[in-house]
Every structure is written in C-alpha cells, then in structure tokens.
Amino acid sequence: MIHSHHCNSSEHELSRRQVLGTLAGVAVGSGASGLLHPSVAAQLKAQQKRVLLIWLDGGMSQLESWDPKPGTEFGGPFRAIPTSLPGIHISELMPNTAQQMHHLAVVRSMCTKDENHSTGVPRILRGDPKNRGVTYPYLGAALSKLKGDPHSALPNYIWVKPGSGGFIWQHAGFLGAKYGALALGDGKPPIHINRPAEIDDARDKTRNDIRKRLNTQFRKGRREAQVDAYDYSFEMAEKLIRRKDLFADFKATELDRYGGHPLGRHILQSKRLIEAGVQFVQCHSYHWDTHGDNFNMHLDLVPQIDKPFAALIEDWNESGMLDNVLVLLMSEFGRTPKINQRIGRDHWPEAWSLCMAGCGIRKGIVHGKTTANGAWVDDTEYDIGHVFHTVFRAMGVDPTTTEYHNNGQPLPIAHDDCDAIAELLA
C-alpha cells in the first residue's frame, strides 16, 4: 500500500532561511560574513551527500509509533492521530512528527527474522550480507569507504552515544581500521582535546614525530589492524582539536526546541557535525527494550525522539540541508503485538517499521502494511538487505555494480538476493 503526497508550495524555493542554512555545510568555520553570493544554491546542490542514522537501541514499538492499531486486541491504550499526510495516522505520542509526515518515508513491513540484540544489532547495521568468510562493515564504515572524503578536515564516521567514547575500529570489519567509528561519549569531544599551555606548536610537532617513529618500530611483527587503529585514532583526534568549536555549548533556544534530555542534545550535536561536513553520523539512544511496563515507558521515551526528530526535519527542510542528507530512524526490530504478563512487549522482528527522509528519498510516502491487529506483514516483506540497497541508491552508489575488494576477493556491498525498495526512491 502506497500513500504519497507531493507539495508544490514555496518551500522548494530558496528562501532567506535556506540561503543562511547553506552556510552550515558550505562555510562553517570559514569566517564568511556579509551578503551571500547568488551561486550559493548551486554550491548547496554540489555538496557531498551525508547520512544521519538515529538508532533507538533495544527496539521501539511500531504500535506506539509508526503503525498504531487502536481498538484491536493488541493495540494498547494510545490513540492514532492524523498527520500532515492525508489519510495517514501515527501514534498520539508523536504529535510533532505527525506534522512533518509529508517530508518522510515510512516502511511498515520490515521483517528481519533475528529477535536477539546480540546478533540482531550487527546483522542490521551490517546489512546481513551472505556469509563469505569475512566480517562486513557497519553502514557508517561502508559509506565512509564508498562515499567518504579521505582528505576531509573531519572524521568521516562519528558515533554520538551515551556512555564512554573512543575509536571503535571493529565497525570497519574487513575494510580496515581507517574506516572505523570515532565514538563521542555523551556527545563530548575526546579527552585531552585541549593541549596543555606549556606545549607550543613546535614542541607538539616534535612529540608527534617521535610517536610516529616509535609506531613504525612497534608495527613490526604486529597485526596491521591494531596499529592502524592506534594511528587513526590520533589522526582523528588531531582533526577534532582543530574544530573545538563544534563542541561549544548549545543555546538555550536550541535546547528548548530539541529537548534538554540526552537524546535531544545528541541529535543537536549530530546535526552540528553533519552541517560541518562529517559524512556519516550515527546517533545512539538506549533503553528501548520494554519487556515490562511498555506503555508507561513509551509514554516517557517516544516524546524524547518525537520533539528533536521533528525539529531536525523541519530545520533541515527549511535550510535546504535535507536535499543533501539522508536521515534514517530505526531500531534492530520492533515489539511484539502480544502484551506479556509484565504489561510489556517483547522482541518482534516479524513486522515492524522504520523511517527515512532526505536526499534520494521520496517525500510523503507510507509503504507496506501489517495485518489489522499488527501481528504480521500483510504485504511485501522487506529485510535489512533491501534497506541497504535503498540507502546506497539514494547516496548515488549502484549496489549491483559496485564491489568491495578484500585481498583480491571481490565482495558485493549489499545482499545479492535483495534489491532497493523502488517505491521509496525519488
């Protein structure tokens, strides 16, 4: 089932706010001031495509978000409300997102089979390719390899997450450590980003030259991946040292608009990084595993994503950034239709929803459907391989002709038996 909505309003014109917003991706940190050159619209179109993946770890309930079934045996207590997309309703827990539905593409017929966090998360984030005896990269690492700028002044792949940070080279799989994720714990910069006052530029260069020479000796007889991870972590930290402005405090108005809770702040930080030129940002939120007290937990959790996600889509649409950034909002699976004895919903990969928006994706579409009680897909089932094909296509990469090469071994970038969800592509 497809519902589409096309808008011919003036929002597609280059408004003053759109022009100003272009500066975020074109001239951040350049010190540019005064009137903008008329070619700024062309510059905006020429920008490198980027991706923001918002990951709700543990599994957000589709029935309390994108695919409500009020009044059914599994529907729960929350109402379905109309959206800006005629005829489409989503949960009343998402009133802000409901007003942005004409910018979004939602798939309601995901069916991914794996119901375990430990295997389901890497399966989803790697695209579940066929087993060819190698460890495939996470999506962020894959796109850093396929679309990233090796000469970028910022890391290509940053992971904004609660808890601790560090360089997570394992995300790169067989691609090698340079495509790993630089994790920013609580969205904060790496520790010791401020150089001690007694170390001037000359002394800092000398110290780094010594470190590099020692690394050359250390590399002998050791695994390349481990030493590369060490080297690249230093390189990325050095890049961020030169961009400490990216970690300035947010304005009170920004926090009010996006929410002062961790997820709101982390989405703001991710927005800032994308606008500065980071190619792929993964923004992580935990605690969505609602085996008990599902309804009260979603009553608390869903508004924490509703407000900043809707603000992000609205802001990027008005600034023009949404033409160049692909936004994904998803989990590793959904929640069971059946409510358990603890008034919770368990893991359910059989029928769940995800959302996309931005470059290469059609606006205002809800694709696929579930049965009347939400238990099963009642349409074409889509696995994560279909999503990877769709993302690559939206980013301008043909997954049917583009290959990785691992020590001379050609490897497909997405599952061979899947293809893109054509209805989602612009």
Please tell me the total count of domains within the chain. Answer: 1
Whether residue 35 has pLDDT greater than 60:
no
* Tokens at 373, concatenated: 């009680």
Question: In terms of C-beta density within 10 A (0-12 exposed, 13-18 middle, 19 or more buried), how is residue 179 classed?
Answer: buried
Q: For 30, list phi and psi in degrees, rounded to 5.
A: -85, -15
Predicted confidence at residue 201, as pLDDT, reads: 81
pLDDT band at residue 77, thresholds of 50, 70 and 90?
Answer: very high
Dist CA 19 CA 38 (whole Å): 9
* Mean pLDDT confidence for 366-375: 97
Dist CA 25 CA 37 (whole Å): 15
Predicted confidence at residue 53, as pLDDT, reads: 98
Whether residue 290 has pLDDT greater than 80:
yes
pLDDT tens digits for 171-192? 999 999 889 999 999 999 887 6
* Tokens at 282, concatenated: 């993964």
Whether residue 89 has pLDDT greater than 90:
yes
Q: Which of 38-42, 43-47, 204-208 has the highest mean pLDDT?
A: 204-208
Q: Classify residue 396: in a domain, yes or no.
A: yes
pLDDT > 90 fraction of the chain, expressed in percent and rounded: 73
Q: Are 240 and 189 in contact (CB under 8 A)?
A: yes
Residues 6+ apart with CB under 8 A from 143: 51, 157, 279, 280, 391, 395
Q: Classify residue 37: in a domain, yes or no.
A: no
Q: Classify residue 385: in a domain, yes or no.
A: yes
Q: What is the pTM (predicted TM-score) of this model?
A: 0.86
Whether residue 134 has pLDDT greater than 90:
yes
pLDDT band at residue 238, thresholds of 50, 70 and 90?
Answer: confident
* Tokens at 143, concatenated: 């796109």
Whether residue 30 has pLDDT greater than 60:
no
Nearest to 53 by CA among 325, 255, 320, 352: 325
Cα angle 205, 206, 212 (rounded to 5 degrees) comes to 90
Q: Classify residue 210: in a domain, yes or no.
A: yes
Predicted confidence at residue 223, as pLDDT, reads: 65
* Tokens at 270, concatenated: 């991710």
* Mean pLDDT confidence for 136-165: 95
Q: Classify residue 69: in a domain, yes or no.
A: yes
Predicted confidence at residue 375, as pLDDT, reads: 96
Distance (Å) of CA 214 to CA 203, 218, 248? 17, 6, 34
Q: Classify residue 413: in a domain, yes or no.
A: yes
Mean pLDDT of the chain: 88
Whether residue 336 has pLDDT greater than 60:
yes
* Mean pLDDT confidence for 306-318: 98
Whether residue 281 has pLDDT greater than 80:
yes
Nearest to 394 by CA among 368, 366, 422: 422
204-218, 251-265, 318-332, range with the lowest pLDDT: 204-218
Whether residue 394 has pLDDT greater than 80:
yes
Whether residue 41 has pLDDT greater than 90:
no
Count of beta carbons in the 10 Å neighbourhood of residue 51? 25
Q: Are 155 and 189 in contact (CB under 8 A)?
A: no
Predicted confidence at residue 226, as pLDDT, reads: 63
CA distance from start to end of the chain: 17
| Domain interval for residue 305 | 45-424
* Tokens at 65, concatenated: 């978000």
Predicted confidence at residue 210, as pLDDT, reads: 85
Q: Classify residue 8: in a domain, yes or no.
A: no
Predicted confidence at residue 190, as pLDDT, reads: 80
**Torsion sign, CA atoms 293, 265, 154, 220:** negative
**Torsion sign, CA atoms 173, 178, 179, 185:** positive
Max intra-chain CA distance, the chain: 70
Distance of CA 306 to the CA centre of its chain: 15
pLDDT tens digits for 412-423? 999 999 999 999
Q: CATH number of the domain that 245 lies in?
A: 3.40.720.10
Dist CA 5 CA 331 (whole Å): 26
Q: Classify residue 306: in a domain, yes or no.
A: yes
| C-alpha dihedral (54, 60, 63, 64), degrees to nearest 10 | -80
* Tokens at 323, concatenated: 């033409």
